[in-house]
Structure formats: C-alpha cells, structure tokens
Amino acid sequence: MELKRAAEGEKGFEKVFAFLRERLLAGSLRPGDRLVSERELATLLGVSRPIVREALRALTVLGIVEIRDRIGTVVTRPDVSVLNDFFTFALAHQADMLDDVMQARVAIECQAIRLACERANIADFERLQRALAKIGETIDEADAGGMADFEFHRAIVVASHSETLTVLHGSLAGLLTHSHRSRRKLVQAFPSMKT
C-alpha cells in the first residue's frame, strides 16, 4: 500500500512540474505572476494538496517560485548560479568527467569567440586586456593563476553577448576553475611549460 502511495505521489509530483514547466516555456507564466491556489491546482491536476505543496517547495528550492504569506505562490526569475553546484556534484563522480567537461568548454568558447568577433564592444576588449594582464601577473601562482585563466576565458564568453553561452559557461565554473588550477600546478612542476 505504501509503495503504491509513493508511486502515486511521484506521478502527481511530475504532473505539477510538467504543468508549470509547460506554462513557463509557453510564456503564459512569467516572473511576477501569481499561481492559482494550491486547492485549485490540486483540483485541476487531479492530485492531492500535499503533493502540490511538496512540488511547490521543490520549485522554491530551485528558485522558480516563491511562496509568500498572504499573497500565494509567485513565479520568480530562477537563479542560474545553482547550476554550477548541480553540475559540479553531478559530473564530479564520472570517470572521464574532466575530458568531457573540457570538450564542452571548447564547444562553448569556440562559439563565444565567433560571436565576440561580431559583438564585442570597447568594455569587452578592456575586460579581456585586464584579464590577460592578470594571467601574466599570476603565472607562478596556482590558485590565483587558475582563477585568472578562468576569468580570461569567462571574459571571452561574456564578450559574445550570448546569455545562453554565458549561463552554460557559468554553470561549469566550479569544474573549470578546478581544471585551470590543476593546469597551473602542472606548470609549476614543469617550468619549461611557461614558454
């Protein structure tokens, strides 16, 4: 009986997620919009109020909605920085994770370079120049140098003026900074790599 109830709860949870996802993608729900009440949502989807409540709490953790006293549930603009932690935890346990992440980085940065060539402005070039100078200043420091490397590559992506590429690159930030630091440590162990 408990297993059946858990399966029904899972299906109900998925119904709530699917309902809200479809409306967000269609644009019929936007940041600032208030959702119908839990009771109405439960009736509409044929699920229990506790299932609706649980799904809304999960969406709150993801930053998709905010539950406000005396107002109800309001759609918010999600904080994409949570992707960084998600990707770090999700990919960190995979055997060939670093190679795969580096391939994704190359794909993102190559397209970013193409777009930056068309869209970059003076502020972007100044940011790139500062980031490049920082790389030179930190050539002998693994941590600061790894961060400088990451910031240079991030400046390239930002110069693309593509919000999607910027979000994707930012979501890999934890893994990429780790990779940059590791390469800097390798440079320290083999100084001939500097040239």
How do the pLDDT tens digits run along the chain, 195 residues long? Answer: 444 444 455 677 788 888 888 988 888 988 899 999 999 999 999 998 998 988 888 888 878 889 888 888 999 887 776 666 776 777 766 667 777 888 889 999 999 999 999 999 999 999 999 999 999 999 888 889 889 999 999 999 999 999 999 988 988 888 888 888 887 787 777 766 665
pLDDT of residue 61: 82
Tell me if the domain spanning 2-75 has CATH number 3.30.750.24: no
CATH homologous superfamily of 82-194: GntR ligand-binding domain-like (1.20.120.530)
Nearest to 84, CA basis, from 137, 139, 20, 150: 150
pLDDT of residue 180: 81
Extents of the domains making up the chain: 2-75, 82-194
For residues 56 and 162, what is the distance between their CA atoms, to the nearest angstrom?
Answer: 30
Is 0.95 topped by the overall pTM? no
Helix (H) or strand (E) holding 184: helix 173-189
pLDDT of residue 178: 80
For residues 4 and 185, what is the distance between their CA atoms, to the nearest angstrom?
Answer: 53
Show the tokens assigned to 8. 């029904």
pLDDT of residue 121: 98
pLDDT of residue 131: 96
* Burial grade of 62 (CB within 10 A; 0-12, 13-18, 19 or more): middle
